[in-house]
Structure 1
């Protein structure tokens, strides 16, 4: 069976993401990117995708038996204010990155609504670059919001 990858299928069934190339994801999703937006990195979970662009994090949920119906959910990069990382231990432990972000569009209000999102990865995935990138983003966002 061409394209069948048992490791990816097992990791996907465990809720883990496997890395996909920006070129492959751009070919598939270029019609859904905003003006000037570029895909930086991405991951696949069975048939759903987690895509990091220059503007947002996209959760792409392929629905139904055929996967032709697709739902896109965004977390905008400029709303991320904190990031945490947990590395894999021994055994079946996974690595994870958790972001905290502002849900409301007006970020200088006194009525902030915070939300968290965790991304889990197989232990073989090097999540340190993603953690550093999101950490740097959160520092810049905090400085911008608090000035």
Structure 2
């Protein structure tokens, strides 16, 4: 239940790496492994050993999907904001 509430509030929930490898195997190149994956409502953020993959489900049914592949060497800046006492959200900005 908390996972659903976290998603509705914009908080990411962890997703099993093996599940992601199986479900999205067509996206991965040889030797690529999932390091971590997070889901926010229907969207997915996949961190691999080579790149960041964003899966953006669109529309009411979520059948329309947009995929973004960002090589780590293409990321020129990122910041991390930790959670505070009253604001429980931590954020990663790229």
**How does the TM-score come out when normalised to structure 1?**
0.57
Match of 2:13 in 1: 18
Match of 1:61 in 2: 56
Deviations 1:41-69 (A, max 9, x none): 10011121100012211110112232222
Runs of 5+ unmatched residues, structure 1: 1-5, 99-116, 118-147
Counterparts of 1:45-124 in structure 2 under 5 Å? Answer: 45-98=40-93, 117=94
Match of 2:39 in 1: 44
Structure number with higher helix proportion: 1
Give the secondary-structure state (helix, strand or coil) at the position aligned to 1:27: helix
Larger radius of gyration: 1
Deviations 1:63-108 (A, max 9, x none): 223222211012211223443222111123311223xxxxxxxxxx
Runs of 5+ unmatched residues, structure 2: none
Whether contact under 8 Å (1:54, 1:77) holds in the other structure is: no
Matched, 1:9 2:4: yes
